[in-house]
Structure 1
Amino acid sequence: MTNEKNSGAEPIVLGALHGAYGLKGWVRVQPFQGTSALLGSKHWQHVLPDGEVRPVELEKAKLHGAGIVAKFQGIDTPEDAAALRGAVALYRKDFPEAEENEYYWVDLIGCDVVNKEGQSIGQVKGMIDNGVHDILNVKRADGKEVLIPFVEDYLAEVNVEAKKIVVDWDPSWD
């Protein structure tokens, strides 16, 4: 997902278009983080390289290896699919409901991070996927950044509504 806080007025870019798949107009999509948001919604947006956003009518989408293949209304040939450039996005309102103890990155960005003792660590600037687990990229008050694994061992509480994450972390660790 994008690493910028999103108010919901702009679509959130969730994956890149990577050319045609097969002979019937399917297109390859490389998700930036997980696949649940894209596969859980039919309200995809096509973000052109110049930033223009166009709604696309999704006929079908399915997992294919580490990515997704999708079929859009009106895209019926490999040439049509190959001509698609840019990315795919969703408006925040179109995300499916997250499961218990699952969070969308866009909802974590901007959260205040404190430790169990109430000491401020900083604010979530972004998220990183290292292939094993997600990592909070936290900007401290002094401008330095600290990386905190977003795993159960370090998480005490995540409250998206209050924009607060409580971690088992010492502020002096960097």
Structure 2
Amino acid sequence: MEWFNVGTIVNTHGIKGEVRVMSKTDFPDERYKAGSKLAIFMPKSKTPTFVTVTSHRKHKNFDLLTFEGYPNINDVEKFRDGVIKVSEKELTELEENEFYYHEIIGCRVITDTGEEIGTVTEIIETGANDVWTVTPAEGKPHYIPYIEDVVKDINLDESVITIELMDGLLS
């Protein structure tokens, strides 16, 4: 089974079993809603601890969660530095032209004329749009903005992304 990172527990919050999560998901309301099943992977453990969310709220830049059966700070202190993940069966269907990072990373990038550019190795969130790091077999990485004018086709079945080369894009 494949697991996907949705956040990291960075600390506890208060004495009533809340944990402070640095979220890595675009869907916090869905991932952290009451009743959601999550897996916590600790740094030195091979097996996850499965938990069920009982409450979720936002506080500053963090998501605060409580879990069923963990009513106080002493119960949740052990989860500090744990990575919260969901299984692939928990992933939801996305809208058209929306993709999970794991679907894009590893795809080959070619131009609309068939020229091989490289492979997507990283996705950088900029606020306005994502920027894909495309690493060629040799040479420096290129940074491709994920915008309609540049990205023309994404074929997940063949793991190929077709882009239109704009002036200065690969310099």
**Following TM superposition, by how much is the alpha carbon of 1:63 offset from its aligned partner in structure 2, in angstroms?**
5.2
Pick one of 87, 93, 104 that aligns with 2:89. Answer: 93
Pick one of 50, 75, 83 that aligns with 1:80. Answer: 75
Specify which structure has the bigger relative contact order, considering alpha-carbon pairs within 8 angstroms and separated by 6 or more residues: 1
In the alignment, structure 1 residue 155 sits paired with structure 2 residue 155: no
Looking at structure 2, the residues matched to 39 and 115 of structure 1 have their Cα atoms a distance apart, in angstroms, of: 39
What SS class does the counterpart of residue 128 from structure 2 fall into? coil
1:12-161 correspondence to structure 2 within 5 Å = 12-35=4-27, 38-39=31-32, 42-60=36-54, 62=56, 64=58, 65-85=60-80, 86-161=82-157
Q: Which moved more, 1:120-129 or 1:17-26?
A: 17-26
Contact 2:6 2:25 (8 Å CA) reproduced: yes
Looking at structure 2, the residues matched to 35 and 81 of structure 1 have their Cα atoms a distance apart, in angstroms, of: 23
Where does the alignment leave 5 or more consecutive residues of structure 2 unmatched?
none
User: Larger Rg: 1 or 2?
Assistant: 2
Pick one of 165, 169, 173 that aligns with 2:170. Answer: 173
TM-score between both structures, scaled by the size of structure 2: 0.81
Q: Which moved more, 1:101-110 or 1:40-49?
A: 40-49
Q: Which moved more, 1:122-131 or 1:105-114?
A: 122-131
Looking at structure 2, the residues matched to 146 and 51 of structure 1 have their Cα atoms a distance apart, in angstroms, of: 37
TM-score between both structures, scaled by the size of structure 1: 0.80
Q: How many residues align?
A: 166
Looking at structure 2, the residues matched to 146 and 103 of structure 1 have their Cα atoms a distance apart, in angstroms, of: 20
Once the two structures are aligned, what percentage of the paired residues are identical?
25
